[in-house]
Amino acid sequence: MNDIAIAIADEDVPLAAGQIRFYCAAEPPLQAGSYWLQAQQTVDGLKADVKGNSFGVQTPFLVSGPRFQLPSQDLQLVYPPANMVGNYEESLPHVVLRTRTLPWVRSIDGNTNNAGDNDGTTPPWIGLLTLYPDELKGATPQVITVAQLIDPGDPSILGPTLIDADTLSADELASQLLAIDLDLAAFLALAPSLAELPLLAHVREVNTDQKEVLGMVEDGWFSVAVGNRLPRSGCDNSCFLVSLEGQQAHLHGGPAIAAQYKTIRLVCLATWKFTAAGPRGSFLDYMQNLCGQGGVDLMQPTHRPFPAVLSGAEKTAVEALQIGYIPLQNVTRSGEVTTSWYRGPLSPVPTKADPLGPYFFSDRAIRYDPANGLFNMSYASAWQIGQLLGLSDAAFASSLFQWRINSYQAALSAVASDHLHGLADQFQQPRAGVTPVLLAVLSRVAGQAVSIAPLKAHERRDEDLLPGVVPDWEERIAAGEDALHLLHQHVRKPN
């Protein structure tokens, strides 16, 4: 785990690598909503009537911002991670947003004159709710329209009170959003109060140097919305990032709500699930188990208890966990998402040398178990990690590149030399059906002086009838004429 230094210095002091600075809030100068721009000018002495000396103009404009939907690029990450099982029972769920002003980009009551002074007293318009399975009562997010949000059409459903509902256009009312109807009693029990909301959002300034990019905002500014409830161990916990605009009177500690309402309708901006599993033991238990399995139990992922009677597949899974394997999701080259086994190089368990290497690329090191249909990515991951570590060293990467270039050049030189020597050896022996002129041409192309044995008289009969025969070629080549030029000038066509 990387150490994080918390900077308490002046905000004008740049952050060093690994430092983080916290702010109560980052409220925009203008919150999202409708405004009027008004300008007025008075010219003294222009007219006798003072009122006629004043000139003015006003025009409306709109400050836009997320309201019923949250753009995907605004969500940096969620914690605990979605669909994961881990020891999260002592961690407050939270979401990290890429826009520092997003929790305060609009007001919870819809008014646009609530801009504060960034002292953390202005309540954000979003909140993070954590619900247990028995509280959900089967409720799931559903796609509805803005009109259905404002007027649910059911007298038992409590919707938000939006002060600009009458001014929304037909297109805005018909636009879709994701909403969830929660049990009103459960919502009132777990929802924060209006006074608590400012404490559940803050801004972080992070120095992102020496960190993996992963789509991270380069300037290092993030806003964070934190839940007000710890997860329940041993079950699925559902998190909902919801809009609280128009719900300020429905929060915990607010005025009484009419008895006719049984559920409350909330705009769902983001949602995910995770499972909180209790720790397998205390620190003392971990230390006492070091001798039992060589410490491998410390590296096992948190998991739910296994049944007393295991099937064949369950026995395989338990055995894999006991020797340090963990199941991880990976994406294959074909785009298929699958689950594979992985074990790191530091697992304190006996291993055997891999007899199938060396490998020229990582995919060659993937193992497949046809009995359970799972891949083992351990060797492939080790190969890829080793390559990346090597290439991250500039000196090593440069030396490796130069070694490859030299090896290629040496191999090419050896092949070319062997080929030319082979040609030279062939040129030394006259071959039947090959004229001396052609041998001289090949000798010139090869770049070597080749001695050609003169043909005997009986081998040159009827040479005038053969194409490409050059008269007196031996004397003319000996005099220094170029063999290719002779061949070009004296090619004869057959009769």
In order of 129, 280, 434, the CA distances from 299 in angstroms are 31, 12, 76
**Which pLDDT does position 5 carry in this prediction?**
47
Report pLDDT for 100. 92
CA dihedral 259, 262, 267, 272 (to 10 degrees): 140
Concatenated DSSP letters of 101-169: TGGGSS-TTS-S-----SSS-SPPSEEEEEE-HHHHTT---EEEEHHHHH--S-TTEE----TTGGG--
Those residues whose C-beta lies under 8 Å from the C-beta of residue 237, and which sit 6 or more positions away, are 80, 88, 93, 130, 131, 132, 231, 273, 274, 275, 276
The confidence score (pLDDT) of residue 468 equals 47
Question: By three-state DSSP, how is residue 213 classified?
Answer: coil
- Give pLDDT tens digits along the chain (495 positions): 344 444 444 566 788 877 889 999 999 888 888 888 988 888 877 777 767 778 888 898 888 889 999 988 899 999 999 988 888 888 999 999 999 999 999 999 877 665 556 667 889 999 999 999 999 999 999 999 999 999 999 999 999 999 888 989 999 999 999 999 999 999 999 999 999 999 999 999 988 775 555 555 567 899 999 999 999 988 899 999 999 999 999 998 889 999 999 999 999 999 999 998 876 667 777 677 666 555 566 666 666 677 778 777 778 888 888 788 888 888 888 888 888 888 888 776 777 788 888 888 888 899 888 877 888 998 999 999 988 888 888 888 888 888 888 888 887 787 777 655 555 555 455 444 444 544 454 444 444 444 444 444 444 444 444 444 556 656 666 676 665 565 555 544 444
Return d(Cα 116, Cα 31) in angstroms, integer: 10
Residue 191 · residue 168 · CB < 8 Å: no
β-pairing, 337-342 vs 374-376, is parallel
Strand partners, 235: 276
Q: What is the pLDDT at residue 330?
A: 83
Tokens linked to 411: 């191999």
With beta carbons less than 8 A apart as the criterion, state whether 5 and 19 touch: yes
Task: Give me the DSSP letters along 234-265.
Answer: TEEEEEEEEE-TT-GGGSTT-S---TT--EEE
Distances (CA, A) of 290 to 63, 284, 297, 305, 318: 60, 10, 8, 21, 19
Which pLDDT value is given to residue 439?
46
Q: Which residues contact 430 (CB under 8 A, 6 or more apart)?
A: 436, 439, 452, 453, 455
- Joined together, the tokens standing for residue 226 give 């934190």
Q: What is the C-alpha separation between 88 and 98, in angstroms, rounded?
A: 24
Task: Determine the pLDDT at residue 445.
Answer: 43
pLDDT of res. 155: 94
Beta pairing, strands 263-276 & 85-86 = parallel
Question: Which structure tokens are listed for 41?
Answer: 């000018």
Q: What is the pLDDT of residue 193?
A: 93
The residues, any chain, with a CB within 8 Å of residue 344's CB and separated by 6 or more, are 299, 324, 378
Chain centroid to CA 470: how far?
73
The DSSP bridge pattern shows strands 337-342 and 201-206 to be unpaired
For the beta sheet containing 326-331, the strands, ordered from the edge strand earlier in sequence to the opposite edge, are 326-331, 337-342, 374-376, 367-369
